[in-house]
Amino acid sequence: MYVLDDINRDLLDLLQTDGRMSFKELGDRIGLTAPAVAERVRKLEDAGVIKGYRAVVDYEALGFPILSIVRVKAPIAGRAVDEKIAALPNVIEANRVTGSDSHVIRARLRTTRDIEDLLADVWEDGETITNLVTSSPVPRRPMNLKATNAGRAS
Amino acid sequence: MYVLDDINRDLLDLLQTDGRMSFKELGDRIGLTAPAVAERVRKLEDAGVIKGYRAVVDYEALGFPILSIVRVKAPIAGRAVDEKIAALPNVIEANRVTGSDSHVIRARLRTTRDIEDLLADVWEDGETITNLVTSSPVPRRPMNLKATNAGRAS
DNA sequence: TCTGAAATGTGTCGGGG
DNA sequence: CCCCGACACATTTCAGA
């Protein structure tokens, strides 16, 4: 497990909030110079702790107002099923899970009609249960590493 | 609905893949100069299409190997419940949904013991069903806007 | 809405503590 | 592991089309 000191923990919290913050500004906030920050960030990237940077896009504004959660009970949950799911561009996440279902899939859709198309694709693999998200009390957010005492040696 | 031209669609796909890409490099890839890119990106931000930028952090590497999905059936699903869930730092997303459950919660946890603590907190609000993610055929990913023909006037 | 050029700000690399 | 100074590079602004 990768152990963080307090500076790296704060760096990660800042970069999770604003992934485009400059090294200089990061340094100003935590009391380091830009080169020192750059080196720490580079090491976090090399270690795989920072996996990348992403712009967060509002899919609703782009015409995908429906967020659906589909649970699948696939009798034979093999690689073929996984790959078929991954090939669907509307799918933004898919997990294999414990319990009576085999997969949990999340997809962004344009219309209710698209739900049928999505289900038709996974239908062949097993029974499905679909929930539509009506609101998000906690929209997808980063963990607050400071609040969770992340990175402390256990 | 916000209508994208092809350039903005490609810009968003690039920024979803690498949120720290410089305006100059973005411009080189799509055939514009840096100032033109900067202006387009600024407008997308102002319009709320780009909601922000985030570093993607590997929580497993930081000691949170468990991703849990908890479905809650809360008889009275009011604001108080939402706020209690939102206050838990391990919760990375919570949705209200249609169907027999009221909420779907995702949380990152350190140990199986933490599952008990999490459930104890939401337990008071209703019955729970918990699934543990064993693998992710599709890890959380951005939508490919080009593949989905996003932003086209319908 | 874009380009091109000038000014400003930031990233990067060396040397040194 | 950090700071400082110097250079290279990116961003911003603005005039012009």
pLDDT of B154 > 80? The answer is no
CA-based nearest residue in chain B for residue A65:
B1
**Tens of pLDDT along A39-78?**
999 999 999 999 999 999 999 999 999 999 999 999 987 8
pLDDT band for position B78 (cuts 50, 70, 90): confident
- The per-residue pLDDT for A76 is 85
Identify the bridge partners of residue B58 per DSSP, sorted by sequence position.
none
Q: Which positions on chain D have an atom < 7 Å from some protein CB?
A: 1-5, 9-14
Mean pLDDT of the region B3-7:
97
Phi, psi for residue B137 in degrees, rounded to 5: -55, -35
**In which residue ranges of chain A is CATH 1.10.10.10 found?**
6-46
Distance in angstroms (rounded) separating the CA atoms of residues B48 and B18: 19
A33 is near strand D: CB distance < 7 Å: yes
Q: Where in chain B is the domain with CATH 3.30.70.920?
A: 60-132
Q: How many helices (H) and strands (E) does chain B have?
A: 5, 5
> Cα–Cα distance between A118 and A87 in angstroms, integer?
12
CB-CB under 8 Å, A53 with B19:
yes
* Predicted pLDDT at A124: 83
* Beta-carbon separation of B147 and A89 below 8 A: yes
Residue B124 has pLDDT above 60, yes or no: yes
In degrees, rounded to 5, the angle at the alpha carbon of residue B138 between the alpha carbons of residues B137 and B142 is 170
Residue B152 has a pLDDT of 74
Tell me the CATH class for B6-46: mainly alpha
Q: What is the pLDDT of residue B151?
A: 82
Amino acid at B142: P
Average pLDDT, chain B: 96
The integer distance in angstroms from the CA atom of A39 to the C1' atom of D6 is 19
Residue numbers of chain A with a pLDDT score lower than 50? none
Contacts of A58 in chain B (CB under 8 A): 48-51
- Residue B52: name the closest of A10, A59, A54, A67 by CA: A54
The whole-angstrom separation of Cα B111 and Cα A66 is 33
Nucleotide nearest to B38 (CA to C1'): D11
Chain B 90-129 contacts with nucleic strand D (CB below 7 A): none
Domain A60-132 sits in CATH at: 3.30.70.920
Return the nearest residue to D9, CA–C1': B24
pLDDT at A154: 57
Residue range B76-92: mean pLDDT, rounded: 93
Give protein residues whose Cβ lies within 7 A of nucleic acid chain C: A 22-25, 34-35, 38; B 7, 27, 31-33, 35-36, 39-40
- Distance CA(B108)–CA(B94), nearest Å, equals 12
Collect all residues of chain A within an 8 Å Cβ-Cβ radius of residue B130.
99
- Length of chain B, in residues: 154
DSSP element (H, E) containing A107: strand A103-109
pLDDT value at residue A107: 98
- Nearest Cβ partner of A19 from B55, B95, B135? B55
pTM of the model: 0.96
